[in-house]
Structure 1
Amino acid sequence: MSRLRFGRHHDDGYRLVSNDDSGFSDAQFEEPPIKIPWKAISLAVFLFVVGTILLIAGSLIVTGHIDTKYSDRLWPMIVLGGIMFLPGAYHIRIAYYAYKEYPGFSFNDIPELD
């Protein structure tokens, strides 16, 4: 049970003061609306697509389906494709799971580009 009393206020008026004021309001416990980071997701899609293309092209050179005169481009394509593919696939996965509302995944896990 809370106790109420009349207390002095800075404007020389009186107001009703509660002794059990915890300093919390109901508004601070409401979740803000979900903001989807479209720029970051589009960058992730770009990295995923270009990385996949580079990895496939590098793999085709290794297997001999593309002429071996391009073999000097083999390792840079595979390394650059891997560097682009991994973060793109990771962030697309987070965005997909956040869209499907899987527990533990949120659009807040994807960094925003400002």
Structure 2
Amino acid sequence: MAHSTMWCMGVEGAFDKLELELRRGVVVLAALSQLGTFRYGYELRRSLADRGMPIEEGTLYPLLRRLESQGVLVSEWRTDEGSPRRYYTLSAEGRVLYRKLADAWRGLHQTVDQLLEGGPS
């Protein structure tokens, strides 16, 4: 029995790591999907979490800065509501990239769904 329990804990640990890898693979697409209009970081985090994709601040803010440095996003500082906030949105190139990534995701999703239908039971 102890061996079985140990094996299950190994599976859970493996699951946690592999699930994290799956999420990392889609976090960019998820974030881009919510940046058709200007949003600041906390607003973006809330929008993603409300739709089932929570993202830690330590993941989101470096991601936003990296995407901006790559020309995918543009940002501006606003002080409308008190403290200054940096707002991000897709650049023209980011919109093209988003459409291409979304198409690629849909194709992969469809393929994986087909593979899962015939996979092990």
Fold match by TM threshold 0.5: no
Shorter-chain TM-score bucket reads 0.3 to 0.5
Larger Rg: 1
Q: Name the structure with the higher helix share.
A: 2
Which of 1 and 2 has higher RCO (CA within 8 Å, sep 6+)?
1
TM-score (norm 1): 0.33
